[in-house]
A and B are shown apart, each in its own frame.
Chain A
């Protein structure tokens, strides 16, 4: 199976900071990556699909990119409401594996 290695596992940043979360696939998966946000005690929410396409209604401070097998979720200016755990997911073939998650906190 293709593994998705997500890093870091947690981070703490100040309001207004630029935050970057990475996900590396163990093999090529083209652009078949989605990113989800899960706030504490809440249901996951789709942020990005196809590596870089912003889901409707998601703030433009969220963006996604791909370089080879490395995928990145960027929050351009961290806001208090962005405190959450973020997951990448690959979906080129089964299983549609999630990364381990990155917990984002405010410093």
Chain B
């Protein structure tokens, strides 16, 4: 079955750019049946939707993060990525990637999460 795995630095300095990659196995990011999403969860808090990308490269971002977020897809390497620029301590969170069904918009497969701390 499809599995997702986040990877990237666990520590990022303030004002720098957070970069995470989600590797997809057992399925294809080129499928027209799914969007590929990023969600985050600050320590002890709730879930925050970041955005998603379709295999065509079409994206949809949270307006509150839009000026700092870029989600991209690499179909040849079966992965998609998140970049968040000018990070602050408020961006410290567990970052999840997830698969979202095109028809239902339900996020049915999630990665295990990647903890990112913003600190100097």
Contacts and interface: CB of A to CB of B under 8 A. Distances in A.
B48 interface: yes
Given A87-B47, A94-B62, A32 B106 contact: no
B106 A46 contact: yes
Contacts of B60: 94
Interface residues of A, number: 25
Interface in B90-114: 96, 101, 104-108, 110-113
B106 A98 contact: no
Interface string A36-49: 10100001111001
B75 to A, nearest CB: 23
25 contacts: A34-B105, A34-B107, A36-B47, A38-B47, A43-B110, A44-B47, A44-B96, A45-B110, A46-B106, A46-B107, A46-B108, A49-B104, A53-B104, A55-B106, A55-B108, A85-B46, A87-B47, A89-B47, A89-B49, A94-B60, A95-B63, A98-B46, A98-B47, A101-B46, A101-B47
